[in-house]
Amino acid sequence: MSAMTLTGGTIGTTPKRRFNPRHALVLAKRNIIKSMRTPEQFMDVTLQPIIFLTLFTYIFGGALAGGSQHAYLEFLLPGMLGQTIAMTSIAIGQNLHTDIDKGVFDRFRSLPIGRAVPLIGAVLAEFTRYVTVCVVTMAVGYLIGFRIETDPLKLLAGLALAICFAACFAWVSVFIGLTVRSAGAVQGVMFLFIFPLSFGSNVFVQTSTMPGWLQAFVKVNPMSHLVSAVRGLMLGGPVGSQVGWTFAWCAILLVVFFPLALRGYIRRA
């Protein structure tokens, strides 16, 4: 059995290799130190939410949501949060692709640590970027008039759900980063995933305005579930089933892409 679980002591034929969360935290710290030393790596999680949120609010706001820019901002912000946080994951695949060819990964492989630890460490480090996206999006939103209609606890729950989704979606990028042959190709392939996910969803407009065949896709799209859940948590309304679907999609992403990513990593050795 090659059960590829996070706690798995048996990956491949390696006996007694226990996964130690501390190792993953040590490697997450390495990634955080590295990205702090190249602050331009934070451009996509700081400038992008600012530009996209203001741009889309004022471009579409007048035409949609009955001409009320404020009403459109209320509708759009949870969607932009979902789209931006998913796009954030492009960087991890690109960074791993270049990082892994450097000698330090061979050093990691020669140490008695779990095989997946360097990958898990890299994903854990992404949490700093996810939190940045959340803070910047909410701050800009607040400045241009966004207000939550529930309570701060529900807001935090919504942000946590978006971060959880991003951390699972990151494994798609890790897999692609370890599979394609150039770092530049990571972005191209990731856009193939992210564009249908973010535009074929309820991020920008209500699902009910779309033709039936598109609605069928939009309704199963994980991004729609995430955005509906976050909307509910920020603006009120029932959220239980949408949160449930989001978690289900998180589990699917993890179960499919974590083993694929690990296999890609082992093959690159």
Partner 1 sequence: MTDLAIEATGLTKSFGKTKALAGVDLAARKGTVLGVLGPNGAGKTTAVRILATLLRADSGVAKVNGFDVRTHPNQVRQRIGLTGQFASVDDDLTGTENLVMIGQLLDLPKKAAKARAAELLEWFDLAEAAGKKAKNYSGGMRRRLDLAASLVGRPPVIFLDEPTTGLDPAKREDMWDVVRSLVSDGSTVLLTTQYLEEADALADEITVINHGKVIAHDTPHGLKRVVGGQRLTVHPIDPARYDDLLTVLSEIPATAGRTPEPNGRGSVTIQVDSDDVLPDVVARLRAAGIKVDELSLHLPSLDEVFFTLTGTRSGESHAAEEVPA
Part in contact with partner 1 (CB under 8 A); list of ranges 19-27, 64-72, 201-209, 238-246: 19-27
Binding mask 156-175 toward partner 1 (x if CB under 8 A, else -) reads --------------------
- Residues in region 111-130 near partner 1 by CB under 8 A: 111-113
Q: Kindly tell me which of 14 and 68 has the beta carbon lying closer to partner 1.
A: 14
**Angle between helices 69-87 and 117-143 in degrees, nearest 10:** 170
Q: Kindly tell me which of 12 and 237 has the beta carbon lying closer to partner 1.
A: 12
Q: Are 76 and 57 in contact (CB under 8 A)?
A: yes
Part in contact with partner 1 (CB under 8 A); list of ranges 90-98, 100-108, 150-158, 181-189: 100-108
Count of CB atoms situated within 10 Å of the CB of 85: 27
Part in contact with partner 1 (CB under 8 A); list of ranges 60-68, 105-113, 143-151, 222-230: 105-113
Q: Kindly tell me which of 117 and 140 has the beta carbon lying closer to partner 1.
A: 117
Measured in whole angstroms, the distance separating CA 249 from the mean position of its chain's CA atoms is 12
Part in contact with partner 1 (CB under 8 A); list of ranges 22-30, 46-54, 183-191, 232-240: 22-30
Q: How far apart are CA 243 and CA 240, in angstroms?
A: 5
Q: Which residues contact 260 (CB under 8 A, 6 or more apart)?
A: 171, 175
Instruction: By CB under 8 A, name the one of 37, 153, 211, 267 that touches partner 1.
Output: 37
Part in contact with partner 1 (CB under 8 A); list of ranges 9-17, 172-180, 201-209, 239-247: 9-17
- Closest approach, Cβ 114 to partner 1, in A, equals 10
First CA to last CA distance, the chain: 22
Is residue 98 within the footprint of partner 1 (CB under 8 A)? no
- Alpha-helical (H) ranges within the chain are 21-37, 43-60, 69-87, 90-99, 103-109, 117-143, 152-179, 183-199, 212-220, 222-235, 240-268
Part in contact with partner 1 (CB under 8 A); list of ranges 75-83, 103-111, 219-227, 250-258: 103-111
Is residue 269 within the footprint of partner 1 (CB under 8 A)? yes
Is residue 30 within the footprint of partner 1 (CB under 8 A)? yes
Instruction: By CB under 8 A, name the one of 103, 211, 238, 240 that touches partner 1.
Output: 103
Q: Are 81 and 137 in contact (CB under 8 A)?
A: yes
Q: Which long-range contacts link 4-10 to residues 24+ away (Cβ below 8 Å)?
A: 4/116, 4/258, 4/259, 4/262, 6/116, 6/120, 6/258
Q: Are 174 and 122 in contact (CB under 8 A)?
A: yes
Q: How far apart are CA 2 and CA 117, in angstroms?
A: 17
Number of residues that bind partner 1 (CB under 8 A): 28
Instruction: By CB under 8 A, name the one of 39, 107, 153, 212 that touches partner 1.
Output: 107
Is residue 102 within the footprint of partner 1 (CB under 8 A)? yes
**Interaction site with partner 1 (CB under 8 A):** 13-17, 20, 22-23, 26-27, 29-30, 33-34, 37-38, 102-104, 106-113, 269
